[in-house]
Amino acid sequence: MPDTLTIIDNRTGKQYELSIANDTIKAMDLRQIKVNENDFGLMTYDPAFMNTASCKSMITFIDGEKGILRYRGYPIEHLAEKSNYLETAYLILYGELPNKPQYEEWVHNITYHTLIHENIKKLMDGFHYDAHPMGMLISTVAALSTFYNDAKEIHNPESRKKQTYRLIGKMPTIAAFAFRHSVGRPYVYPDNALSYTANLMSMLWKMTETQFQAHPALVKALDVLFILHADHEQNCSANAMRSIGSSHVDPYAAIAGAAAALYGPLHGGANEAVLRMLDEIGTKDNVPSFIKGVKSGSGRLMGFGHRVYKNYDPRAKVIKQLADEVFEVTGRNPKLDIALELERIALEDEYFVKRKLYPNVDFYSGLIYQAMGFPVEMFPVLFSIPRTAGWIAQWEEMLLDSDQKIARPRQVYLGSGMRDYVVMSKRK
């Protein structure tokens, strides 16, 4: 059987044969389908990219029906159990797990790029006392673009490597400084003797002690959360990263845009929205009436549903198990009972079952973050730190893909035809 698709245009009776590769036809092959020579040719209409592959990728595999997520072929559950965030970031970026010298060099390079320029600190000082840390993170990452002019050399692999170290190294520092600014505490500089996540915790919570000692179980839990959030193929922010990057702007400007896309409550801002929702529900007894409200269209059940997963989000499964380990150290987050009841009812309710709405990564992550002491405003920030590796990998793959050009979708124009300008005195 040939790998082709035969199309008959009933407007003209003409027949076309399009080739199929990887279960995909090329949208540009439709352009030849015309009613007459002056016709522009057929396009597809696909708002929100519901059924359009915008790239070929070798980074992350998701099977939404089966609830499978793999980075470079490795199941997320195995990485969560056996790897650590920096090793996973290396895997995502370079395609293979590092050997020992590669790993040590990688960790060294990230660790020695954690400091930020003192002027960045001054810039952060300028934010209002109640500035949202995610807004601060987005703006500050954009500002990094003005500090590293070499970042404009996006076609130079050495320059890309350098910006990768800087971005992955500095994100936790900027995130922690944003938090310290919001609570009026002095900034804590990075401690190179600590691991990636232990250092972040030190920069967030260290007071006057010589070295901050985070609980090892919590350091491990945060590291696992970072692994789970490191990449997720062509989601809203990855798509933003590729789209902005396709104009060949430097990676700091592109990451600021990707982080802005992540900030929204339908994407990475959902973990913050989940906690606000649980607060609004208040007690377990109010769950049935809340669910009723969601079904009648008064709002969404935040942390539920996903564009790709039509099954339990595999990250949510790992997080649910992790929650028990964290609560053993921190004490149980009382909102867990409300979340469990929401999940129990929703998974039995026809509305959610019919629409295949299951808990996503954000449903339980916020409960863990809160139990660990992070304020809700920090949740999207905690998502952005590990996702930086994914954004850079997606950006680099896009830059090196000879099929890619500047991202520029088409539109179906339905506005006015040509009209004559009317002077103001004659307008109705």
Q: What does the binding site for ligand ACO look like in residue numbers (CB under 6 A)? A: 235, 266-268, 270, 294, 300-307, 355, 357, 360-362
Q: From CA 162, how far away is CA 98, in angstroms rounded? A: 18
Using the minimum distance from each CB to ligand ACO, give the nearer residue, 231 or 250: 231
Min dist. Cβ of residue 133 to ligand ACO (A): 18
Min dist. Cβ of residue 235 to ligand ACO (A): 6
How many angstroms separate the first and last alpha carbons of the chain?
Answer: 64
Min dist. Cβ of residue 332 to ligand ACO (A): 23
Using the minimum distance from each CB to ligand ACO, give the nearer residue, 168 or 294: 294
Q: From CA 40, how far away is CA 166, in angstroms rounded? A: 46
| CB burial string 313-347: b at 16+ within 10 A, e below | bbbbbbbbebbeebeeebeebebbebbbbbbeebe
Min dist. Cβ of residue 68 to ligand ACO (A): 16
Min dist. Cβ of residue 302 to ligand ACO (A): 5
Using the minimum distance from each CB to ligand ACO, give the nearer residue, 20 or 266: 266
Exactly one of 223, 250, 313, 362 is catalytic; which is it?
Answer: 362
Using the minimum distance from each CB to ligand ACO, give the nearer residue, 177 or 391: 391
DSSP state of 283: S
Using the minimum distance from each CB to ligand ACO, give the nearer residue, 270 or 275: 270
Using the minimum distance from each CB to ligand ACO, give the nearer residue, 177 or 263: 263
Exactly one of 113, 229, 232, 267 is catalytic; which is it?
Answer: 267
Min dist. Cβ of residue 137 to ligand ACO (A): 17
Using the minimum distance from each CB to ligand ACO, give the nearer residue, 34 or 307: 307
Six token digits for residue 97: 């797990």
Neighbours of 75 (CB within 10 A): 14
181 annotated active-site: no
Residue 224 CA from chain centroid, whole number = 16
248 annotated active-site: no
* Residue whose entry in the numeric block shows the structure tokens 């401690």: 191
Interacting residues of 120 by C-beta distance below 8 A, sequence separation 6+: 140, 143, 144, 147, 174
Neighbours of 311 (CB within 10 A): 15
Compute the Cα dihedral for 252, 256, 257, 262 and give only its sign: positive
Six token digits for residue 180: 């310290």
362 annotated active-site: yes
Min dist. Cβ of residue 269 to ligand ACO (A): 8
Exactly one of 113, 223, 306, 313 is catalytic; which is it?
Answer: 306
Nearest residue by C-beta to ligand ACO?
305
Q: From CA 314, how far away is CA 321, in angstroms rounded? A: 11
* Residue whose entry in the numeric block shows the structure tokens 């700091």: 252
Question: Coil, strand, or helix at residue 138?
Answer: helix
Interacting residues of 9 by C-beta distance below 8 A, sequence separation 6+: 15, 16, 33, 35, 42
Residue 59 burial class via C-beta count within 10 angstroms: exposed 0-12, middle 13-18, buried 19 and up: buried
Among all residues, which ones are annotated catalytic? 267, 306, 362
